[in-house]
Homo-oligomer: A and B are copies of this chain.
Amino acid sequence: MKASFFLDKVRKGKPLVHHLTNWVTIYDCANIVKVFGAAPVMAHATEEVTEMTSLSSALVLNIGTLTTDFIEAMKLAVKSANKKNIPVVLDVCGAGATAFRDKKVFELLEAGKIDVIKGNASEVARIAGLDVATKGVDSTDVNQDLTEIARQLAEKRNCVVVITGAVDIVADKQKVFKIKNGHAMMANVVGTGCMAASVIGTFAAISDDLAEGISAGLCCYEIAAECAAEKASGPGTFKEKLFDCIFTLNSDIVDERQKILAIFANS
């Protein structure tokens, strides 16, 4: 599988990606879609979400700064996405932090078909119903467990599960991809996690096999991060150069740097 193939498809297809996301990184989420050559749209009024989603090729939900009203708008958007049969990505941002947040995440998971659940190790563990301390789950020692957690949740929820981290895990019922690209600087700036969800939505929009397309998207994003880190003098300039490097990313760089490990269930 070549990530550059999917990058090309995004740039040619220019999918419209509808977001209902948090107010902290909303600009970054829109801009990352744009610099990948696709088209972001942000709209959350209950009176228009149904129609806006119906015009789009993917839906990205992020509960970072959730409110009850906002979650209701998300539910309408999910129904509309399901009707049009476009992929729905749910970033379970901050799951586990408060009882309200947990309650609302599960309401969303029951509101319709969620195609991709995305979070860091502790957030996804929470959704999987595990009673693991965050610290333990995040450590590399339980790396094997993370793959298993992702796989089981993918099976249980009949969806793709993405656990982001130093190594990203993308699992569906049949296979697991591990993306080993990226750079430590990503953890030093606000927004890289939220942007990952937008990248997932953008690549899901143009992919027949979601897990494959999503892995390609994360790989491209993180290769750009590697290039940006080489040119940056800290997290501020890193983020701007990340946008530059995505915009100027070409197949040669992606092919050369791609580090995706694919594991198939019956291999």
Which residues of chain A have a CB within 8 Å of any CB of chain B? 22-28, 30-31, 34-35, 40-45, 47-48, 51-52, 55, 64-68, 94, 97-101, 188-191, 232-237, 239-248
Residue of B nearest to A54 (CB): B98
Option from B98, B237, B245 in Cβ contact (under 8 Å) with A234: B245
Chain B residues contacting A232 (CB-CB under 8 Å) are: 244
The answer on a CB contact under 8 Å between B234 and A243 is: yes
Q: How far is the CA of A42 from the CA of B237 in the complex (A)?
A: 23
Q: Given A99-B51, A233-B244, A248-B233 in contact, is the A30-B190 Cβ separation under 8 Å?
A: yes
CB distance from A240 to the nearest CB of B (A): 4
Q: How far is the CA of A102 from the CA of B56 in the complex (A)?
A: 18
The answer on a CB contact under 8 Å between B241 and A237 is: yes
List 5 interface pairs A-B (beta carbons < 8 Å), by A numbering: A41-B94, A41-B97, A45-B68, A45-B100, A236-B239
Option from B48, B188, B233 in Cβ contact (under 8 Å) with A34: B188
Q: How far is the CA of A250 from the CA of B231 in the complex (A)?
A: 21
Option from B51, B68, B236, B242 in Cβ contact (under 8 Å) with A243: B236
The answer on a CB contact under 8 Å between A241 and B247 is: no
Chain B residues contacting A34 (CB-CB under 8 Å) are: 188-190, 235
CB distance from A171 to the nearest CB of B (A): 28
Residue of B nearest to A29 (CB): B24
Q: How far is the CA of A27 from the CA of B28 in the complex (A)?
A: 9
CB distance from A69 to the nearest CB of B (A): 9
Residue of B nearest to A187 (CB): B34
Pick the 6 closest A-B CB pairs, nearest first. A234-B244, A236-B243, A236-B240, A48-B100, A48-B98, A47-B100
Residue of B nearest to A99 (CB): B51
The answer on a CB contact under 8 Å between A188 and B42 is: no
CB distance from A238 to the nearest CB of B (A): 8
Chain B residues contacting A94 (CB-CB under 8 Å) are: 41, 43
Q: Given A47-B100, A51-B99, A236-B35 in contact, is the A42-B22 Cβ separation under 8 Å?
A: yes
Q: How far is the CA of A65 from the CA of B70 in the complex (A)?
A: 13
CB distance from A55 to the nearest CB of B (A): 7
The answer on a CB contact under 8 Å between A235 and B244 is: yes
Q: How far is the CA of A248 from the CA of B248 in the complex (A)?
A: 27
Option from B23, B31, B47, B191 in Cβ contact (under 8 Å) with A23: B23
Residue of B nearest to A27 (CB): B24
Q: Given A35-B188, A42-B65 in contact, is the A237-B235 Cβ separation under 8 Å?
A: no
Option from B48, B99, B100, B241 in Cβ contact (under 8 Å) with A236: B241
